[in-house]
Structures are given as C-alpha cells and as structure tokens.
C-alpha cells in the first residue's frame, strides 16, 4: 500500500515522457490523494506540544 504512491507517480512521469498529459494529470491527482490518505492514517498520535 505504501509503495503505491511511488508506482503511481512513476506512471505519471512515464505518461509525461510519452506525451499523455491527461493521463499524467489524472495519475498525479490519484497519487496525491492516496498520499494524503496515508498521511491521515499515520498521523494518529497527539503532538507533544503545549502553548
């Protein structure tokens, strides 16, 4: 699961190389959304801060 964003961004870069702009944009959007979802999953502990 954690490897998936890299696979998607590599595919997006490959699409850019191949001149497929729409596919690259779509893959990038999916990859970024997945990255943020994984961040939400891992950002569970409270920060040790007091103001």
Q: Which residues would be at the binding site for another protein (CB under 8 A)? A: 1-3, 5-7, 9-10, 12-14, 16-17, 19, 21, 24-25, 27-28, 31-32, 35-36, 38-39, 41-43, 45, 47-49
Q: Rounded to the nearest whole angstrom, what is the least distance from the CB of residue 45 to another protein in the complex? A: 7
Q: Rounded to the nearest whole angstrom, what is the least distance from the CB of residue 3 to another protein in the complex? A: 4
3-state secondary structure 1-31: CCCHHHHHHHHHHHHHHCCCHHHHHHHHHHH
| Closest CA relative to residue 41, chosen from 2, 10, 15 | 2
């Amino acid at each position: 699961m954690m490897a998936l964003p890299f696979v998607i961004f590599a595919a997006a870069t490959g699409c850019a190389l191949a001149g497929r702009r729409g596919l690259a944009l779509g893959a990038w959007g999916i990859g970024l959304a997945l990255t943020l979802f994984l961040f939400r999953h891992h950002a569970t502990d409270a920060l040790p801060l007091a103001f």
